[in-house]
Amino acid sequence: MTGSATASEHAANYGEHRTSTDWLTVTLLFVAGVGAAMHFAKIPAALPQISAEFDLPPIAGGLAVSLVAVVGMVLGVAAGTLVDAWGRRRLLIFALVVGALTSAVIPLLRTTGLFLGMRFVEGLSHLVIVVAAPSLMGVLAKPSDRTVVMTLWGSFFAVGFALTDAIAPTLLDSWGWASLFWAHAALLMATAVLIGPRLNRLARRQTLEPPPMTTDLPRLLGNLVADHGILYRNLAINLAAIGFGLHCLLFNAYLTYVRQVLLDEGALHGGEVGPWMSLLALLSIASTILIGGALLRMGISPFRTLVVCFAAEAVAGAALFTGMFGPSSLLAASIALFMFDGCVQGATFATIPLVASDRMAALTHGAFAQTGNIGSFLGPPVFAAAAVAGGWPAGAIPTVIVCVAGIACTMLAARLVGGRVAPVTMASPR
């Protein structure tokens, strides 16, 4: 790795002179993302036991699941401003520690109000991690590895859910829901302990982030307004973020309803559904990391990957929901659907270095967090409405429409950046 560049050289891109990728630190930052994903994943797994202990009505149970997403929907871009204002490294470590303490304390609470209040705090921790961690990952990768690193980051959510699904049954059956929360707390705290000193050492050798701007509240609010204006005027970043939101709309709907489609159409029975859905999740992760990474290593633009995979996802989704190729094809269609969707997930994150400089990274990841949470929030009700109106075959309609919209956003974004396949190197507009 080279030493620090001059101020003019790294005005926008702090890692463009790196000659190697710091894979250890990148991996630790990825683990931080997995911990952030578990803020979501641990509640569905433990909800029956939590609902029984707190006597949660169904609405409160649903709020416990969705509250983290609501925080991201409202404060996504604001988190990007805050992370840059107070420092990406500093707030990442703070968010990891706060997330660990919150997860450790929640099982000790005895009222629904306090439980939901702590879930809001967990939402803030989650949001800061998913903005700060990938912003730092990109800086620690050499330019030719940046799209690959962002593809790896694109799998953090699925990996977090897969890890939770793997450990939750044993923990819940043996020690109750508190043990799952304490395991999550241990992961977050261990990550903070390992990554904090390492980032501090690296920061003495290379610029990792913009200099913290201000802790003054009036100036911070002014920066918040200005940053929203800067971000929303950057059409390429907005199109990439919208494409990610469209992916999240579909992915959350698939996780919610594909199992029921396979059951209702007789493709699976009873106890077969859980293992099959776990397999689909693993195939999605493998597709994100292995297939998506291999395509990038071959020099194929993530924009091209997105267009092809959105189109293939539309066909697979239509085949699954309509059963157009017969009941025997449904399992194959579900495999294809999750694999192409996994490629979409990785490729959307791989576009970030192509549409945004390092200076804009935190804001861009904030925009992705915002659109991703909006998409995740909208996906299940959109598909539920389609199913109510026309049965499971009607699920093909939102699938195809959303995929076509994703293709349109991708093609326009690619046109705006000129089909770029290397990270942005121009000075940031900020």
Q: What is the mean pLDDT of each run of 10 residues along the chain (430 residues)?
A: 36 62 92 93 84 78 77 81 80 95 92 88 92 87 82 85 85 92 97 92 70 65 72 86 93 84 82 80 84 77 92 95 86 94 89 78 83 86 88 93 96 81 45
Task: Give the pLDDT score at 154.
Answer: 82
Tokens 């997330």, residue located? 99
Residue 211 gets which letter from DSSP? P
Intra-chain end-to-end CA distance of the chain, in Å: 27
Task: Give the pLDDT score at 216.
Answer: 66
**Residues 188, 322: contact at Cβ < 8 Å?**
no
Quick: pLDDT tens for 191-232: 999 999 998 888 776 666 666 665 666 776 776 777 777 777
Task: Give the pLDDT score at 215.
Answer: 62
Written as six digits, the tokens of 38 are: 């578990």
Go through 353-386 and write b for each residue having 16 or more CB atoms within 10 A of its CB, e for each that does not: bbbbbbbbbbbbbbbbbbbbbbbbbbbbebbeeb
Query: For the CA atoms of the chain, what is the radius of gyration?
Result: 21
pTM (two decimals): 0.79
The length of the chain, given as a count of residues: 430
Domains and CATH numbers, the chain: 23-207+215-230 (1.20.1250.20), 234-416 (1.20.1250.20)
Task: Give the pLDDT score at 8.
Answer: 36
CB under 8 Å to 305, separation ≥6 — which residues? 292, 295, 296, 343, 347, 350
Task: Give the pLDDT score at 213.
Answer: 63
Quickly count: other Cβ atoms within 10 Å of residue 24's Cβ.
12
Residue 17 gets which letter from DSSP? T
Task: Give the pLDDT score at 256.
Answer: 76
Task: Give the pLDDT score at 397.
Answer: 95
Task: Give the pLDDT score at 212.
Answer: 62
Quick: pLDDT tens for 70-129: 888 887 878 877 877 788 888 999 999 999 999 999 999 888 888 889 989 999 999 999
Q: Which of helix, strand or coil describes residue 265? A: coil
Written as six digits, the tokens of 138 are: 């990109």
State the alpha helices, DSSP H only, in 21-145. 23-54, 58-86, 88-105, 112-139
**What span, in angstroms and rounded, lies between the C-alpha atoms of 263 and 319?**
16
